[in-house]
C-alpha cells in the first residue's frame, strides 16, 4: 500500500510531464522575458536535492538486510519517484522559458508527492523503521519536497518577468493563487479603500475568456458542422447545443470533475459522524477495554471539520468555473449573433426584427451564465441519490426502498411538469419578442407618432401586448410554485415513510427496527443530504428548460439565410494598372430582392404554420366577441412578387474613374449599388470587383461614440490622413462648434447632428477606410448647395481627395455630370444608356430628356421663390435647406475652406475644448454607504 501511494502519482506525473514537454517543443512560443532566476534556481536546487535523497534511499534499500524496510515494491516506488522528479526538473526549465508563472503540473505533483510521502513516513514510524537509514533518506526527501512546494506556491509578481509581461493577473497567478483566489486580493483591498472603476478590473480578464478567443472557438466548429450537414443533405440541421458542448469540452472536464468530487466529499461527513457516534457510544460500556482511543475521536472531529472545509472550497471552485464557462459561452454567442445580423440576406432580415435580435443577445445568450451553475448539478443528482440510498440501506435496510418507490411514483408528474415548463417558456419568450418589436418600432418612429397624435392608440397596442405577456408570466409563476411544492415535499415524504417503516417493520423478521441515536442522527443527516439533489431537480429542470429554449431560438437565427458571398467574384490583392476594369458586370446580369422561387415548405412546416394561423384567428375572433366588435375575416396568404428588380445589366468601370448613376426616383439606382455589395440575389450574369470596397449609404448612420471614433471606426488613428479627410468633408467648422471638438460624444443615434452633418461624417468614415472602390449612394442630397460644391471639389470630384479611387456616385445633381468620366442611365431596372456627358446629350435620348426635365423643374422652382417686396418684385436668394432641417448645420456650413496649412491647427484646437461638456452619454452613478429606509419603503409600496 505504501508503494502504491508513491508509485501511482509518479507514473501519472511522468506521463503528464512528458506530454507537456513535447507540447512545448512542438507548439510552444517563448515569451522572451528571461527567467525569475532567484525562485527558479531555488526550485531547481531543491528538486536536485530531492532526487539525491531518493537515489540515496534506493542505494540504502539495496544494501539493507531482507528483514528491514527493503522490498522490491519499495525499491520500484523510489525509482519511479526519482524519475518523475527528474522529468519535473526538465519540465521546470521549459516552463520558465515558455510561461511566466509556476507550472501547475509541477505544483500538483509536488503537493500529491508531499502528502503521499508524509503518509509513508508516518506509517514507517509506527512500524518501528524510524531508526533505519532508508527512513532517514525518506524524511530528507519529505523536507526537500515541502520546501519545494513552498517555492512553487510563492507568488512571482515582484519579479521582472511578470512585471514586464503584457498579460492579465489571472495569467500571472500560479496554481495555488488560482485555486485560493489569492490573485484577487489586491483588487479586494483596493475596493475596500475606494470604489472600483472599469480600469481596475480590466487586467483580471483571462486571455482565453476574451471575446475573440471564445468566438473563434465556437464559430469554427459551428461553421464546420453547417458544412457537414449541408453535404449530408436530407434537410439535416446542426445542433447548436452539441456544438457548444464540444467547443468548450476542455472547460467542461474540470467543471464535471469538481462537481462529482464535491458530491462524493459531501457524503464523507455522514460516515465520519457515524464513526464519531460509535466512538461516543463505546464509552457507554462499563468495560474499559471497549473504550476507543481518545486520539481516534480527535482525528474524527478534525476529519469532519476538514471535510466540510474541503466541500466549501470545492463549491467555490465549482461556482467560479461554472461562471467562467457560462460567460465564455455567452460572449461567443453574442459575437456570433452580432456577426450573423450583419450577414443576413434581405429575405431573412425581413423575418428577424431588431427587437428579436436584441432579445437573442440580451436574454437568450444571458441564460447560459445565469443557469449553468444550477444545471451542472444535474450531472451529480443520480450519483448523490445513489450514494445516499446505499448508505441509508446500510443503516435502515430495505425500508429505504419504500421511500424510493414513492419517488418513482412521482417521476411521471415531474416529466409532465417538464413539458409544461418548456411550452410556457417558449410562449413567454415569443410574447417578449412581440413586445420588444412593437416598442422598438414605436420608438423608431416617435416623430411620426407625435406628429399625428397617435400616442394613445400605440399606448393601447403596447398595453395589450404587455397584458398578454403578464398573463403568461402569471401562469408561469403559478406553475413554478406548484412544481416547487412538489419537489420540496418529496424529500420529506421519503424521510417520513422510510423511518416509519423502519421503526415498525425494519428489524429482522419484520420486527421493529433499533432506533438508537447512531441510526437516527446519521439517517436524518443522510435524508437531509438526499433531499438536496431531489429538491434542486425543480430549479434544475426550470433552468435546463430555459437554456434549451434559448439555445434553440439562437440556433434558428444562426441558421437563417445569409448573403451569398459567391455571387460576387472579389480580388482583394489590390488594383493594378493592367487595363482590366475594377468593376465588371457582364452576361446580362439579373438581380432581385428575393429568391427566384418560393422556398419549399415541408409537410411538417405547413402543419405548424396552419396551426399557428388557426390559433391567431381564434384569438382574434375571441377578442372581437369580447369587445363586441365585428369578427375579422381570415386573412388571405400574402403573395410575394418574385420578379427581378434589375435586368439586362452590363457595366464596366475603369480604375480611378468617376461614374455617375442617374435616373428618376424608383428606377433602380440604389439597387445597383446594393447588387454590387452583394445584398441582392443574382439570378444571372457575372459580377467581378477588384480591391476593397467602401459604401456610403443614402441614409447616414451614427454610432454612440465620439465624432473621431465615428470617422476612424476601428482603424488606427493617423493624424495627417484624418486632418485631410476632415477638411475635405467640410467638418472643420462643425468640429469647432462642438463642445469638445472631435472628442464630443454623439448621443443616441446621432440625434444631436443634422442630416447634412451625419452625411458628411458618413463620407469621412468611408474616405478614412482608404478603399479601392467607393460606392456613394446620393450623399449630396442632404447638404446645402455650397457644401455640395465643397464636397465635390475637395472629396468626390475629379480633383478631390478620392480622385485616384474608383467611384460610383448615385446623384441627382445634374450640374456635376459634365465633370464625370462615365454616366450610367437607369430606367425601369435596366441600363438604357452609358457613356460620356457630351455623347449622351448629342444622342438626344433618355438622358437628354432627363436633363431637360430637371432644367424645367429648376426654372419653376426659381420662379416660385420670387417674393414681392414693396411695389417691385425682387428675386430672393435661394435658400437650400438641409433635408434634416437642423439649425446647427446652417451655422456650420459657412466658411469651409480656410487653407490646408491651417487645418491641423484647427483640429488640434477644437479637440482641446472642455471634454466634460461633451459627455452626452452619461456615466453610471454609484452611491456608497447604507441603503436608506426610503428604498425599502419603495419596495414595500410596490409590492
* Contact (Cβ atoms closer than 8 angstroms) between residue 707 and residue 713: no
Average pLDDT over residues 787-801: 92
Of residues 160 and 776, more confidence is placed in 776
Max avg pLDDT among 121-130, 280-289, 916-925: 280-289
Residues 147 and 224 both lie in one domain: no
159-168 pLDDT tens trace: 555 555 566 6
Predicted local confidence at residue 208, as pLDDT:
76
Tell me: do 439 and 299 sit in the same domain: yes
Determine the pLDDT at residue 761: 92
User: 475: domain CATH number?
Assistant: 1.20.1560.10
Q: Is residue 116 part of a domain?
A: yes
What is the reported pLDDT for 727?
93
Q: In 127-184, which residue ranges form alpha helices assigned H by DSSP? A: 133-153, 160-163, 169-172, 175-180
Sign of CA pseudo-dihedral 130, 131, 136, 138: negative
More confident residue, 803 or 168: 803
Q: Which residue has the higher pLDDT, 747 or 85?
A: 85
Average pLDDT over residues 325-335: 92
Q: Quick check: 700 and 755 in contact, CB under 8 A?
A: yes
Question: In terms of domains, do 401 and 485 share one?
Answer: yes
Same domain, 279 and 360: yes
Q: Is 666 within a domain?
A: yes
pLDDT at residue 911 above 60? Answer: no
| Domain termination site, one of 558, 588, 609 | 558
Highest mean pLDDT among 776-785, 821-830, 854-863: 821-830
Judge if 226 and 78 occupy the same domain.
no
**593 pLDDT more than 80:** yes
Tell me which of 694 and 869 has the higher pLDDT: 694
Q: Where is pLDDT greater, at 484 or 268?
A: 268
Instruction: Specify whether 350 is located in the same domain as 406.
Output: yes
Does 693 have pLDDT greater than 60? yes
Residue 672's pLDDT is what? 93
Q: pLDDT by residue (tens digit) across 630-661?
A: 656 665 555 566 788 999 999 999 999 999 99
Give yes or no: residues 216 and 330 share one domain. yes
- Identify the top-confidence range among 158-162, 445-449, 520-524, 831-835: 831-835
CA distance 91 to 106: 8
| Per-residue pLDDT band at 67 (split at 50, 70, 90) | low
Over residues 200-228, the pLDDT tens digits come to: 777 677 777 788 889 999 999 999 998 88
Least confident range of 80-94, 372-386, 746-760: 746-760
Residues 303 and 250 in one domain: yes
Q: How remote is the C-alpha of 769 from its chain's centroid?
A: 27
Give the DSSP H or E segment for 696.
strand 693-696
Domain extent at residue 502: 209-558
Among the three residues 132, 165, 198, which one is the final residue of a domain in this structure?
165
Average pLDDT over residues 675-685: 90
User: Could you tell me if residue 873 is inside a domain?
Assistant: no
Residues 228 and 365 in one domain: yes
Rounded to whole angstroms, how far apart are CA atoms 92 and 97? 9
The residue from 558, 587, 607 where one domain ends is: 558
Range name among 170-184, 667-681, 723-737 with the lowest pLDDT average: 170-184
Rounded Cα distance between 722 and 73, Å, is: 76
572 within a domain of the structure (yes/no)? no
Confidence of residue 768 (pLDDT cuts 50, 70, 90): very high
- What percentage of the chain has pLDDT greater than the value 70? 82
Euclidean distance between CA atoms 384 and 151, whole angstroms: 38
* Lowest mean pLDDT, pick from 100-104, 268-272, 314-318, 362-366: 100-104
pLDDT value at 893 more than 60 = no
Mean predicted confidence (pLDDT) in 180-206: 80
Shared domain check, 470 and 352:
yes
Q: Kindly state whether residues 519 and 662 are assigned to the same domain.
A: no
Quick check: is 90 in a domain? yes
The pLDDT, as a whole number, for residue 694 is 94
Whole-number average pLDDT of the chain: 80
| 638: in domain | no
- Amino acid 885: pLDDT: 38
Give the percent of the chain with pLDDT over 90: 18
**Looking at residue 660, what is its pLDDT?**
93
247-276 in b/e form (b: 16+ CB < 10 A) is bbeebbeebeebbebbbebbbbbbbbbbbb
Q: List the CATH number of the domain containing 901.
A: 3.40.50.300
Tell me which of 191-195, 332-336, 577-581 is least confident: 577-581
b/e per residue, 897-928, with b = 16+ CB within 10 A? eeeeeebbebbeebbebeeeebeeeeeeeeee
Q: How many domains does the chain contain in total?
A: 3
Examine residue 222 and state whether it is found in any structural domain, yes or no: yes
- Residue range 148-160: average pLDDT? 73
Decide: 802 and 795 in contact? Cβ < 8 Å: yes
181 in a domain, yes or no? no
Q: In terms of domains, do 225 and 134 share one? A: no
Amino acid at each position: 500500500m505504501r508503494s502504491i501511494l508513491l508509485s501511482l502519482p509518479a507514473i501519472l506525473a511522468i506521463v503528464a510531464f512528458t506530454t507537456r514537454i513535447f507540447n512545448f517543443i512542438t507548439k510552444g512560443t517563448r515569451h522572451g522575458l528571461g527567467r525569475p532566476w532567484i525562485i527558479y534556481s531555488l526550485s531547481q536546487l531543491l528538486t536536485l536535492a530531492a532526487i539525491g535523497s531518493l537515489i540515496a534511499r534506493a542505494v540504502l534499500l539495496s544494501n539493507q538486510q531482507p528483514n528491514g524496510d527493503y522490498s522490491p515494491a519499495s525499491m520500484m516506488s523510489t525509482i519511479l519517484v526519482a524519475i518523475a522528479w527528474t522529468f519535473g526538473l526538465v519540465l521546470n526549465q521549459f516552463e520558465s522559458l515558455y510561461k511566466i508563472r509556476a507550472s501547475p503540473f509541477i505544483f500538483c505533483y509536488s503537493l500529491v508527492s508531499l502528502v503521499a510521502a508524509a503518509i509513508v513516513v508516518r506509517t514507517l514510524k509506527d512500524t518501528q523503521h524510524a531508526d533505519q537509514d532508508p527512513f532517514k533518506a525518506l524524511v530528507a526527501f519529505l523536507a526537500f519536497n515541502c520546501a519545494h512546494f513552498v517555492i512553487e506556491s510563492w507568488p512571482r509578481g515582484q519579479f521582472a518577468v511578470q512585471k514586464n509581461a503584457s498579460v492579465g493577473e489571472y495569467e500571472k497567478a500560479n496554481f495555488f493563487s488560482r485555486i485560493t483566489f489569492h490573485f484577487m486580493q489586491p483588487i479586494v483591498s483596493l475596493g475596500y479603500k475606494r470604489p472600483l472603476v472599469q480600469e481596475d478590473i480590466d487586467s483580471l480578464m483571462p486571455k482565453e475568456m476574451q471575446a475573440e478567443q471564445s468566438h473563434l472557438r465556437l464559430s469554427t466548429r459551428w461553421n464546420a458542422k453547417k458544412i457537414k450537414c449541408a453535404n449530408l443533405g436530407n434537410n439535416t440541421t446542426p445542433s447548436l447545443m452539441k456544438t457548444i458542448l464540444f467547443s468548450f469540452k476542455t472547460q467542461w472536464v474540470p467543471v464535471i470533475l469538481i462537481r462529482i468530487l464535491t458530491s462524493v466529499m459531501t457524503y464523507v461527513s455522514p460516515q465520519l459522524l457515524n464513526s464519531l457516534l460509535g466512538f461516543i457510544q463505546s464509552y457507554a460500556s462499563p468495560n474499559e477495554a471497549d473504550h476507543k482511543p481518545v486520539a481516534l475521536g480527535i482525528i474524527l472531529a478534525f476529519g469532519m471539520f476538514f471535510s466540510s472545509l474541503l466541500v466549501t472550497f470545492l463549491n467555490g471552485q465549482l461556482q467560479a468555473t461554472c461562471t467562467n464557462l457560462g460567460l465564455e459561452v455567452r460572449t461567443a454567442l453574442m459575437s456570433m449573433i452580432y456577426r450573423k445580423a450583419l450577414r443576413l440576406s434581405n429575405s431573412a432580415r425581413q423575418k428577424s426584427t431588431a427587437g428579436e435580435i436584441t432579445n437573442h443577445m440580451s436574454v437568450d445568450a444571458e441564460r447560459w451564465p445565469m443557469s449553468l451553475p444550477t444545471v451542472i448539478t444535474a450531472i451529480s443528482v443520480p450519483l448523490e441519490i445513489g450514494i445516499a440510498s446505499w448508505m441509508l440501506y446500510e443503516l435502515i435496510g430495505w425500508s429505504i426502498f419504500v421511500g424510493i418507490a414513492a419517488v418513482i411514483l412521482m417521476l411521471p408528474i415531474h416529466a409532465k411538469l417538464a413539458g409544461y415548463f418548456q411550452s410556457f417558456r417558449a410562449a413567454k419568450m415569443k410574447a417578449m419578442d412581440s413586445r420588444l418589436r412593437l416598442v422598438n418600432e414605436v420608438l423608431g418612429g416617435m416623430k411620426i407618432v407625435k406628429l399625428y397624435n397617435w400616442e394613445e392608440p400605440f399606448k393601447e397596442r403596447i398595453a395589450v401586448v404587455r397584458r398578454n405577456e403578464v398573463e403568461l408570466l402569471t401562469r408561469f409563476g403559478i406553475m413554478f410554485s406548484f412544481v416547487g411544492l412538489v419537489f420540496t415535499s418529496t424529500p420529506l415524504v421519503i424521510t417520513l415513510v422510510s423511518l416509519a417503516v423502519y421503526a415498525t417493520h425494519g428489524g429482522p423478521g419484520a420486527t421493529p427496527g433499533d432506533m438508537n441515536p447512531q441510526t437516527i442522527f446519521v439517517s436524518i443527516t443522510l435524508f437531509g443530504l438526499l433531499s438536496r439533489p431531489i429538491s434542486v431537480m425543480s430549479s434544475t429542470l426550470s433552468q435546463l428548460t430555459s437554456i434549451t429554449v434559448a439555445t434553440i431560438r439562437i440556433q434558428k437565427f444562426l441558421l437563417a439565410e445569409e448573403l451569398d458571398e459567391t455571387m460576387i467574384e472579389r480580388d482583394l490583392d489590390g488594383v493594378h494598372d493592367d487595363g482590366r476594369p475594377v468593376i465588371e458586370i457582364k452576361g446580362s446580369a439579373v438581380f432581385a430582392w428575393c429568391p427566384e422561387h418560393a422556398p419549399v415548405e415541408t409537410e411538417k412546416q405547413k402543419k405548424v404554420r396552419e396551426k399557428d394561423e388557426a390559433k391567431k384567428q381564434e384569438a382574434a375572433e375571441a377578442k372581437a366577441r369580447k369587445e363586441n366588435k365585428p369578427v375579422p375575416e381570415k386573412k388571405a396568404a400574402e403573395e410575394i412578387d418574385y420578379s427581378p428588380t434589375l435586368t439586362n445589366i452590363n457595366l464596366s468601370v475603369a480604375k480611378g474613374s468617376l461614374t455617375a448613376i442617374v435616373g428618376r426616383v424608383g428606377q433602380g439606382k440604389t439597387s445597383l449599388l446594393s447588387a454590387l455589395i452583394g445584398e441582392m440575389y443574382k439570378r444571372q450574369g457575372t459580377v467581378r470587383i477588384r480591391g476593397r470596397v467602401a459604401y456610403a449609404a443614402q441614409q447616414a448612420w451614427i454610432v454612440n461614440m465620439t465624432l473621431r471614433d465615428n470617422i476612424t471606426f476601428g482603424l488606427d488613428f493617423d493624424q495627417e490622413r484624418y486632418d485631410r479627410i476632415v477638411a475635405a468633408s467640410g467638418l472643420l467648422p462643425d468640429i469647432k462648434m462642438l463642445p469638445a471638438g472631435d472628442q464630443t460624444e454623439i448621443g443616441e443615434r446621432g440625434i444631436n447632428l443634422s442630416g447634412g452633418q451625419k452625411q458628411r461624417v458618413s463620407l469621412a468614415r468611408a474616405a478614412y477606410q482608404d478603399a479601392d472602390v467607393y460606392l456613394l449612394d446620393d450623399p449630396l442630397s442632404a447638404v446645402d448647395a455650397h457644401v455640395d460644391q465643397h464636397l465635390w471639389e475637395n472629396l468626390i470630384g475629379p480633383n478631390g481627395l478620392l480622385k485616384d479611387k474608383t467611384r460610383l456616385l448615385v446623384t441627382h445633381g445634374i450640374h456635376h455630370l459634365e465633370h464625370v468620366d462615365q454616366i450610367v442611365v437607369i430606367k425601369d431596372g435596366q441600363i438604357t444608356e452609358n457613356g460620356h456627358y457630351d455623347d449622351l446629350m448629342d444622342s438626344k435620348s433618355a438622358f437628354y430628356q432627363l436633363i431637360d426635365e430637371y432644367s424645367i423643374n429648376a426654372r419653376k422652382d426659381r420662379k416660385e421663390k420670387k417674393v414681392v417686396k414693396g411695389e417691385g418684385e425682387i428675386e430672393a436668394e435661394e435658400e437650400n435647406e438641409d433635408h434634416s432641417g437642423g439649425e446647427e448645420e446652417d451655422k456650420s456650413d459657412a466658411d469651409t475652406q480656410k487653407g490646408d496649412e491651417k487645418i491641423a491647427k484647427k483640429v488640434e484646437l477644437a479637440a482641446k475644448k472642455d471634454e466634460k461638456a461633451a459627455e452626452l452619454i452619461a456615466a453610471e452613478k454609484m452611491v456608497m454607504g447604507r441603503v436608506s429606509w426610503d428604498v425599502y419603503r419603495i419596495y414595500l409600496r410596490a409590492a
